[in-house]
Amino acid sequence: MAIHSSTEIYGTVEDLQDFIGRAVINLRRDVKSAYAPALIYGAHGLGALILRANKARDAGKVPIIDLLLEELEVLQSMLRMLKKRGWLAYSAYEESVPLTVSISKQATSWKNHYLPESSPVA
Residue 121 sits at the vertex; the CA angle it makes with 119 and 122, to the nearest 5 degrees, is: 125
Backbone angles phi, psi at 27, to 5 degrees: -75, 150
Overall average pLDDT of the 91-115 stretch: 95
pTM above 0.85, yes or no: yes
Alpha-carbon distance of 9 to 53, in angstroms, equals 12
* Alpha-carbon Rg for the chain in angstroms: 16
- Report pLDDT digits (tens) over 12-43: 999 999 999 999 999 989 999 999 999 999 99
pLDDT at residue 103, rounded to an integer: 97
